[in-house]
Every structure is written in C-alpha cells, then in structure tokens.
Amino acid sequence: MAGFLGATSRGSALRADILNMLHWLYANEVCTYKKSLPPDGETVAVLWRCSVNQPEWKAPIADSIDYSTMVLGYATNFLPEHFYATYAA
C-alpha cells in the first residue's frame, strides 16, 4: 500500500486511508516480521507482504526490489511535495 502513496495528493482521503491502514497493521502486528539488528541484536518489526485471505501465509523473504517501493512511497511523507517528479531521472 505504501508504494501507492507517491501517486496520491497530500491531504487526500485516499492517502489518509492508506496511512491509517499501514499504521493499524504495524500497531497490531499484522503482516509484520521481527528482525534483529546488529550489533546489539535489538528486535524491530518490519511490515511486509502477507495474505488477507490466508492469514497463515507470509512471503518467505523480503526482496529489496519489492521493498523499495514501500520505502520510497512512505518517504513521500517526509520529502518536499513533488520531490520525485523534480529530482528522479
């Protein structure tokens, strides 16, 4: 869902809905994976793909090519408006 944030206008209802759903998923640990960070082994939760119809299924690995769309989409919350349209090649 976060990958679609870049295509939404700030302040739009669709953008607010996507952000609310992402925050709910994270807060309720739905579609989250626990990962340990080096060097101290701190555990963090990371959102990733899962199935709504089959809750027991989760993607076996997080691929950077897929995960990047989430990171880049979510980054639009913190970058100037039209950042990618202005600076992307």
* 76-87 pLDDT, tens digit each: 999 998 888 888
Q: pLDDT for 56-69, tens place per residue?
A: 888 887 778 878 88
Structure tokens at 18: 């996507």
Element (H, E) at 14: helix 13-27
Give me the pLDDT at residue 27, please.
94
Beta carbons of 50 and 59 less than 8 angstroms apart: yes
Per cent of the chain over pLDDT 70 is: 99
